[in-house]
Structure 1
Amino acid sequence: MKQTSLCPRLQKSMDIIGKRWTGLIIYQLLQGPQRFGEIEAALPLSGRLLSERLKDLEQEGIVRRMVFPETPVRIEYSLTDKGLALESVIRDLEHWSHDWIEADSICREKPDRS
């Protein structure tokens, strides 16, 4: 990516949030801790891509992966304090989209599972 005169922190935050499906994964986790299958069922993306994005978000300290030593092993994903701090950003985007994105054009598009 070409370097710009933007604030490096803003650029880094846009790189994180701007990855495909990342914002929607965070939006889904705002509902509370969820298992992989629950997140996968709620979003039209592949399990492989969801796994990649969850790992990226975990490395960034936005998502916490909790492993429960049960049989079978239960794994839940939740937002950390850093992830929860994004709620106002995600909610503002949600409100903006309601005001400025036409629903008719979205309904005609087919979901992409990549």
Structure 2
Amino acid sequence: MVRNEETLQPDIYAERLPDDLSNRQCFVLDPMLATGGSLIAAINYLFDRGAVDVTCVCLIAAPEGLDAVEAATVGREVTIVVGAKDEKLNEVGYIVPGLGDAGDRLYGTV
């Protein structure tokens, strides 16, 4: 999944998981939890396929994203592990102060 930078909504660009995740514990690695939209979509994707327990690991998170994920997962077995909680989101949904674009950090820029 990737966040559409214009709409801030998650887009699925590749589905490589089994259709049936019945009774499995799953892990989601998301470097930055900003608005929460992509992480919520990933969590729903896993539970829709039968997962029973999801652990999300994020390097940094914004309070707004944490609140959104918590509200969207009430009653589900979801754990979020965060390296650091940053200050806030800015007007375009980026974490402040943040660390820049995670993809750019991993793969460089053109």
TM-score band, normalised by the shorter chain?
under 0.3
Instruction: Give the number of the structure with larger relative contact order, counting CA–CA contacts within 8 Å between residues 6 or more apart.
Output: 1
**Which protein has the larger Cα radius of gyration, Structure 1 or Structure 2?**
1
Name the structure with the higher helix share: 1
